[in-house]
Amino acid sequence: MDLRFAAEDVAFRDEARTWLTANAPTERRPKLGRAVRDYDLAWQRKLYEAGWGNVAWPVEYGGRDLPLIQQLIWFEEYARTGMRPIDTRFVGLAHAGPTLMARASDEQKSFHLPKILKGEVVWCQGFSEPEAGSDLASLRTKAVVDGDQLVVTGQKIWTSFADHSDYQELLVRTNNDVPKHKGITWVICDMKSPGIDIRPIRTIEGGADFNEVFYDEVRIPLANVVGDIDNGWSVAMSTLAFERGTAFTISQVQLAASVEELIELARSRRSINGRPVIDDDSLAKRLARARADCAALRSLTYLGISKNANSDQPGPEGSMMKLHYADLAKRVYRLGIEILGTRSLAIPVDEDDTEWIDKHLIAYSTSIGGGTSEIQRNIIGERVLGLPR
Amino acid sequence: MDLLPTPEQVEIIDSSATFLADQISIARTRELFESGELPAVGAAAWSAAAELGWFALGLPEDRNGIGCGLADEVLLFREIGRRLAPGPFLSTVLAARVASFGGHQGLSDEIAGGRRVGLVIPGSLDAIGPDGSIVGEVQLVDADPDGLVLTVTPTIAALVAVSSLSDVTEVPCVDPTTRLHRAVGTGVGPVSSVASEVDPVELRGHVLAAALLTGIVEWSRDTGSEHAINRVQFDKPIGVNQAIKHPCADMAVQAQLAYSQSLFGALSVDEGRADAEFQALTAHATAAAAAEFATGATLQIMGGMGFTHEHDVHLYVKRMELLSHTFGMPGLWLDRLLELPEPV
């Protein structure tokens, strides 16, 4: 066992840090409109041109295919730039892209993968539906084969960045006469197709990254099906591991950085009683606890990476990290509100304070998105501990 | 960076588990404490552990030790914790270091050879003097009245003769496998001592306590889950219910966090990292919180059986309390964690 990084890994960290420090955008990411997409894609193009298009993708698809430990280092250094862990590039790079690599035809791969890597397109995900949340396989959006096309009618929900997207990884029901997992098809949907209606969902913090997407007889070429008709569930499952891989490191490192900022905030601000906020012993202890919990989460990440570096099957640490992170993020960002105290009510007064309020509100999503904490607990209970379903 | 055990480390885990199952089983521990023998570990088993080198595992070879790292000791102590083995394992291992680094190699050899050393739990922080002597009210864990006890503070660790203390009175311990005395210090200087800059005994103690607690969390996770699988009510295993399944999953997470942070703490000390104190304290705080949760969750999952003397879970609850009040207590560690520089 060893916590020290090998000499070549230390050199790699220097290289990554140097490049990121010199090249990460210094201007704030816009919150709304076309500017969001432009900002993210410009960043991806810059990454691509410098050979950082993707650290995990295989070399044959233009990726860097770094060893897992160097991926960890890359994401640790990326986190330090303050760039968001998830932006409009995420689905293409971390989900649809890896799915295409695993299951798409050569034609599909050679058309789509370079566009994703070069920052030319945005992808979104069309999985969840109003009646298919945690129970994804019960999805109903219908697709009927008509000649060489699929005709899609139905509705998706929680589609992040749909309004910025060129393509969508879309799950549709192509067969109602078989068990629910067996009648699903994974298809590439061009988001400019006629019959698509995108309606933004305003969320708790005032943003509108999520959308409802409605499909009214949308025609998609059969050539866009990945894998086979009715075999989409296994296509979708082939990349689940990517969603909980090393990329999660960014969120974890940024949470730890937030705790350090909150400790500083509690030292510099005065409470309503005129005394430094940090003098509140209960609050101070919870800040200390958060600091310890972030350190322990890092050790869990390192343990998971040590295991995954030696095995093709990702360990259960992915679900464990996500579950613990969600609980911790909600606790940490609530502390921000406690430190601001009565000042936490006035949203537009101060830019920095606004950020803490946003982070607190957004933290509620951490135990819902990407598989709820309840589902993570089921997965750990059943797959790790062998408890009955 | 690699947190996976090497084949040699897997061998430490396997051989210690086998030895404990054979020589220091919970059934044997129960026999001993129920017949009044405290600490509830037989002399033969204790000597056998010494012969295996358990008390010199982490001592450097030039100090007559085996020369393994603190991470190796973590793997051993996790098994000790999992099996609820009683006896002053923690203080004896640390005492062998104090004697050696304190310039008393003969005494170190004696301790490594199986001489038990108890642990001092001060009633207040000022009960231990700057030189490691005892100057106030203390409790002694698994002390031999004719023997030595270990005092540990963030700056010094020392060995003090029990015979130099006054009002030494045996009292029942909340952990029934453990012998406890109350005593009052007289300020008599220690037999041997070592400053934390020379050897960070306190940090090693926190990490090893964390390892013992990790074993307790893992036992709780496994015991609670097994019951959830096997216990049938309303014609179904109770584990189908999320109210049972989810605390089991939480125990699995807590066990993994306690384990990974114990290793992180141990390697931080071994490698002399700048944040070793932070990582070691975090290990103890993390494992203590995990063990409090996990023992309680498993007791609840066991239902009425969990509340009985017959089931082992209460012994784990009580051991958890002992280890959570060793080298201070959680609130104290958290206060220190907030004052330390940001981890590297």
Q: Does one domain contain both A109 and A134? A: no
In a domain, A161, yes or no: yes
B331: closest chain A residue by CA: A285
Check CB contact of A292 with chain B, cutoff 8 Å: yes
Cβ separation of A381 and B334 shorter than 8 Å?
A: no
Check CB contact of A323 with chain B, cutoff 8 Å: yes
pLDDT value for A318:
82
In a domain, B138, yes or no: yes
Check CB contact of A383 with chain B, cutoff 8 Å: no
Q: Does one domain contain both A112 and A141? A: no
Q: Does one domain contain both A110 and A144? A: no
User: Which of A4, A288, A386 comes nearest B1 by C-beta?
Assistant: A4
Q: Of the residues B173, B195, B217, which one is the last residue of a structural domain?
A: B195
Q: Does one domain contain both A252 and A277? A: yes
pLDDT value for A349:
52
The DSSP symbol for A370 reads T
Q: Does one domain contain both B185 and B254? A: no
| Tally of structural domains, chain A | 3
Distance from CA of A9 to the nearest CA of B (A): 9
In a domain, A239, yes or no: no
Distance from CA of A306 to the nearest CA of B (A): 5
Range of the domain at B65: 7-195
Dist CA B126 CA B247 (whole Å): 40
Position of tokens 């135990």?
A: A367
pLDDT value for A346:
75
In a domain, B37, yes or no: yes
Q: Per-residue pLDDT tens for B20-36?
A: 999 999 999 999 999 99
In a domain, B22, yes or no: yes
In a domain, B344, yes or no: no
In a domain, A236, yes or no: no
Dist CA B333 CA A343 (whole Å): 31
CB of A262 closer than 8 Å to CB of A332: yes
Check CB contact of A386 with chain B, cutoff 8 Å: yes
| Tally of structural domains, chain B | 2
Q: Does one domain contain both A168 and A200? A: yes
CB of B294 closer than 8 Å to CB of B215: no
Position of tokens 């037999």?
A: B191
Q: Does one domain contain both A131 and A97? A: no
Question: Backbone phi, then psi, for A97, in 5-degree steps?
Answer: -55, -55
In a domain, A15, yes or no: yes
In a domain, A169, yes or no: yes
Confidence check on the interface: ipTM exceeds 0.90, yes or no: yes
Question: Cβ contacts of residue A137 below 8 Å, gap of 6+?
Answer: A180, A181, A184, A233
Q: Does one domain contain both A272 and A378? A: yes
Q: Residue A46 maps to which CATH number?
A: 1.10.540.10
Chain A from 55 to 94: CB within 8 A of any B CB: 69, 72
> Is A338 among the catalytic positions?
no
Range of the domain at A18: 7-117
User: Which of B228, B250, B342 comes nearest A260 by C-beta?
Assistant: B342
Question: Backbone phi, then psi, for B209, in 5-degree steps?
Answer: -60, -40
In a domain, B56, yes or no: yes
Q: Does one domain contain both A330 and A264? A: yes
Identify which of B105, B99, B208 has the alpha carbon closest to the alpha carbon of residue B147.
B99
Pairing verdict, β B117-122 and B148-152: parallel
Q: Write b or e for each residue in A159-175: b if 16 or more Cβ atoms lie within 10 A of its Cβ, otherwise e.
A: bbbbbbbbbbbbbbbbe
Find residue A150's DSSP bridge partners: A145, A220
Q: Does one domain contain both B13 and B147? A: yes
Q: Does one domain contain both B99 and B181? A: yes
Q: Residue B90 maps to which CATH number?
A: 1.10.540.10
Specify the pTM: 0.96
Chain B residue numbers touching A264 (CB-CB < 8 A): none
| Residue segments in chain A with a per-residue pLDDT below the cut of 70 | 240-245, 247, 347-352
Q: Does one domain contain both B189 and B252? A: no
Q: Residue A348 maps to which CATH number?
A: 1.20.140.10
Q: Does one domain contain both A252 and A351? A: yes
Q: Does one domain contain both B155 and B238? A: no
Q: Does one domain contain both B38 and B173? A: yes
Q: Of the residues B164, B195, B226, which one is the last residue of a structural domain?
A: B195
In a domain, B289, yes or no: yes
Q: Of the residues A230, A261, A279, which one is the last residue of a structural domain?
A: A230
In a domain, A25, yes or no: yes
Q: Does one domain contain both A320 and A223? A: no
Q: Per-residue pLDDT tens for A102-148?
A: 999 999 999 999 999 999 999 999 999 999 998 999 999 999 999 99
pLDDT value for A244:
45
Q: Does one domain contain both A371 and A253? A: yes
What angle is formed at CA A228 by the lines to CA A226 and CA A230, rounded to 5 degrees? 115
State both tokens at A185.
């098809």
Q: How far is CA B195 from the centre of its chain?
A: 21
Chain A from 196 to 255: CB within 8 A of any B CB: none
The SS3 call for residue B281 is helix
pLDDT value for A205:
87
Q: What is the mean pLDDT of chain B?
A: 97
Q: Does one domain contain both A207 and A286? A: no
Phi-psi domain of B296 (left: phi exceeds 0; alpha: psi -120 through 50; beta: other): alpha
Dist CA B334 CA B336 (whole Å): 5
Question: Backbone phi, then psi, for B190, in 5-degree steps?
Answer: -70, 160
In a domain, A147, yes or no: yes
Q: Does one domain contain both B17 and B100? A: yes
pLDDT-wise least confident of A207-211, B131-135, B244-248: A207-211
Q: Of the residues A68, A87, A117, which one is the last residue of a structural domain?
A: A117
Q: Of the residues B138, B170, B195, which one is the last residue of a structural domain?
A: B195
Identify which of B239, B152, B240 has the alpha carbon closest to the alpha carbon of residue B199.
B152
Q: Residue A151 maps to which CATH number?
A: 2.40.110.10
Q: Of the residues A164, A198, A230, which one is the last residue of a structural domain?
A: A230
Dist CA A76 CA A253 (whole Å): 6
Q: Does one domain contain both B191 and B222? A: no
CB of B224 closer than 8 Å to CB of B301: yes
Q: Does one domain contain both B176 and B269? A: no
Q: Does one domain contain both B186 and B335? A: no
Q: Per-residue pLDDT tens for B277-329?
A: 999 999 999 999 999 999 999 999 999 999 999 999 999 999 999 999 999 99
In a domain, B259, yes or no: yes
Q: Does one domain contain both B254 and B115? A: no
In a domain, B1, yes or no: no
Q: Per-residue pLDDT tens for B70-85?
A: 999 999 999 999 999 9
In a domain, A389, yes or no: no
